[in-house]
Structure 1
């Protein structure tokens, strides 16, 4: 059965959190940023956090990719959280990192990312890809491309630029879809045993540039 793109709802929040947790598993920096142990309710709590944001933030758009041949409860194999900023993006809010996270390392990575984001696109109206995760058991099937294309079509329709931050694993995917690098942010996590720098690419897709 071909994969299907569908709107995601609050009922999908728990599954989205499960996919996010599984997707971070193979990342070599996960044991530094999220060493654990995590409380038993951690995934449910993350799902509740996502659901609460969906309710209160009118810029949020949730999308999912499903495989209807899979058992009920497992059909959702990928998830994306987009923001449509028709008005200027909100100011960054203070971050907190829960039990099981290395707060110092997380602040080093995610705090610097927030500063980079503010500096690069600050008050610009734009489309922003906040989250995109595919269940590792279903990677390579095109779910990430389906979710990416949705945002690009929205950007074309609204005549807005798209921004995102990419991990090394997703960098080639976004390049294939026309994104270009703006800047690469590196973080030195050797204090916690990392043998290479943590890298994140700030990337941009401008429909006017692609059209030209």
Structure 2
């Protein structure tokens, strides 16, 4: 059995997002996010509308890349990841947060209480500097344990190695171990989702992790900031 991570194609959209939703529903923190961000449920009609919206977005997206993890023996897609590659400094307009445009009223307000703090911390940490933001790493639950997640995480690491910029990810309490095992470091800053927003008994802290290119040495985020946010060279 071999695994390969390659760019996702237009015909892959329904499959990769089917994996996305299945994977999120299989992980406690992620399942909460899906319920808040898509409160109407993941129906077949929703999936069709979401696929159409994703295709439209792909026509004008300048920074976001989606990849798939494929079993080379069967050709089956078993995982997906998407991330933003910010390889040039961006203006305030380019970094603007447009909020949750697909919801209204109290549902919109609740979802923005989740997403807005994540955007705000990225702005504080990086602003207009060059970095890679990995949004999502998802593996089909029936294919858990086959190291597809590690292969997808490595995709992000390789982008950082090739471009000389750090890679940033918002982990979850249950997946942080994978990232630390692969050389990522927790940042001092975190995001805390409040229990009254999540509908849980306790607040949940989101671990924020970063990984610099291996040739940057044993550098911390604070070192990188003090040095003026450089792009590293081999």
Q: Same fold (TM over 0.5)?
A: yes
Compute the displacement of 1:208 (Å).
5.3
Asked if 1 retains the 8 angstrom alpha-carbon contact of 2:160 and 2:166, the reply is yes
CA distance in 1, matches of 2:202, 2:6: 38
My pick for the range that moved more, 49-58 or 137-146, is 49-58
Matched, 1:130 2:131: no
Q: Where is the strand percentage greater, Structure 1 or Structure 2?
A: 1
**Aligned match of 1:96:** 100
CA distance in 1, matches of 2:214, 2:46: 42
What is the TM-score when the length of structure 2 is the normalising length? Answer: 0.78
Segments of structure 1 that go 5 or more residues without pairing to the other structure are none
Compute the displacement of 1:97 (Å).
5.6
**Aligned match of 1:159:** 164
Change over 3 Å in CA distance of 1:178–1:59 after alignment to 2: same
Q: How many residues align structurally?
A: 209
CA distance in 2, matches of 1:106, 1:10: 28
Segments of structure 2 that go 5 or more residues without pairing to the other structure are 219-234
CA distance in 2, matches of 1:41, 1:99: 16
Matched, 1:45 2:49: yes
Matched, 1:207 2:206: no
RMSD: 2.5
Matched, 1:145 2:150: yes
1:110 is aligned, of 115, 119, 132, to 115
Compute the displacement of 1:48 (Å).
2.6
What is the TM-score when the length of structure 1 is the normalising length? Answer: 0.86
Change over 3 Å in CA distance of 1:21–1:38 after alignment to 2: closer
Compute the displacement of 1:26 (Å).
2.8
